């Protein structure tokens, strides 16, 4: 059984790379600290540090162990806080994971407004994370609900999901682009246009998938730049670097310097799912999930 105190000692030494400074931070003497680290290494059967006279450094295994230890201690802190709140008769907090689209579309803000109205005293912690990290958080119970760009596998034994919304993709062009004033745009009009591709997932083949979808519609984009998220793409379009497909919620009110056009022959959209653990531990989690689903329906 891992000792959380030893793990905290390990993190302090790893971050300072110095037993003396770590001991000062922890308000203990060096000898007990060194013994605790040595005992942890013995219990694990793992060398966590390389030692010399001047410095102590993490081994490659130690670096991996440090990342997982930080995650465990973070979750332990949340669990302790939840226990104390429940012990005081409170409902506990909510830990919500999300991707940027959950904010841009207004779905998460709407659900949070409802929550604050119905349960004004509840504490909410928000964590902006990629979908894979959120799924792991749900399994570890460090997250109560996840708002993600793709759902977990249908046969996942632990997680459930529901599609919240489909946000149509619109063509965004520089304001002075020749196509901006053209009444109807056909696929051929976009063939060879300089293009800013917006990364839509962590799939390594996302760029190839995007190009293939364009070719299937009848045009080949000349991708000159990649954008990690839609706001970056909008800025690049406004600067005249090319055109892009951006979801409707991101261009609501129209960003300065860009023109927005609908493409009736293009039915692509950015999707958002809610995911959660199959077993609800607290009623408030199920209630907030229902609030999120209602916000999507509205």
Q: Is 45 helix (H, G, I), strand (E, B) or coil?
A: coil
The label of the residue with tokens 């039915």 reads 267
Strand partners, 94: 124
What confidence tens digit (pLDDT) does each residue in 190-226 have? 998 999 988 765 566 778 888 888 899 998 989 999 8
Residue 250: pLDDT over 70: yes
Q: What angle do CA 193, 173, 186 make, to 5 degrees?
A: 60
The label of the residue with tokens 């090319």 reads 242
**Token output for 223:** 């991708």
DSSP secondary structure code for residue 24 in this structure? H
Q: What's the Cα-to-Cα distance from 259 to each of 52, 179, 185, 253, rounded to whole Å?
A: 62, 9, 13, 11
Q: Tell me the mean pLDDT in the region 156-160.
A: 93
What confidence tens digit (pLDDT) does each residue in 131-146 have? 889 999 999 888 999 9
> For the domain bounded by 91-297, which CATH number is listed?
3.40.190.290
pTM score, two decimals? 0.63
Domain with CATH 1.10.10.10 in the chain: 2-80
- Cα torsion 128, 133, 136, 137 to 10°: value is -20
Q: State the fold for domain 2-80.
A: Arc Repressor Mutant, subunit A (1.10.10)
């Amino acid at each position: 059984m891992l000792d959380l105190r030893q793990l905290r000692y390990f993190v302090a030494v790893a971050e300072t790379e110095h037993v003396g400074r770590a001991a000062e931070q922890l308000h203990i003497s060096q000898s007990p600290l060194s013994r605790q680290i040595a005992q942890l290494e013995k219990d694990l059967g793992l060398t966590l540090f390389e030692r010399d006279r001047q410095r102590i450094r993490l081994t490659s295994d130690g670096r991996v162990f440090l990342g997982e230890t930080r995650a465990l201690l973070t979750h332990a802190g949340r669990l302790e806080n939840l226990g104390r709140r429940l012990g005081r008769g409170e409902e506990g907090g909510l830990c919500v994971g999300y991707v940027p689209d959950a904010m841009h579309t207004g779905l998460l803000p709407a659900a949070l407004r409802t929550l604050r109205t119905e349960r004004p005293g509840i504490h909410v912690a928000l964590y902006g994370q990629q979908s894979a990290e959120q799924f792991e958080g749900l399994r570890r119970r460090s997250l109560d609900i996840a708002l993600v760009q793709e759902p977990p596998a249908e046969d996942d034994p632990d997680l459930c999901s529901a599609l919240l919304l489909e946000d149509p993709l619109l063509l965004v062009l520089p304001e002075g682009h020749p196509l901006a004033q053209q009444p109807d745009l056909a696929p051929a009009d976009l063939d060879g246009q300089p293009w800013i591709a917006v990364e839509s997932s962590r799939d390594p083949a996302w760029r190839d998938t995007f190009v293939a979808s364009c070719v299937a519609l009848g045009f080949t984009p000349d991708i000159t730049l990649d954008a990690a998220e839609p706001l970056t793409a909008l800025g690049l379009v406004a600067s005249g670097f090319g055109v892009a497909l951006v979801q409707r919620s991101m261009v609501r009110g129209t960003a300065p310097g860009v023109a927005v056009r609908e493409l009736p022959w293009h039915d692509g959209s950015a999707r958002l799912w809610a995911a959660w653990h199959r077993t609800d531990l607290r009623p408030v989690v199920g209630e907030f999930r229902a609030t999120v689903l209602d916000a999507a329906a509205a």
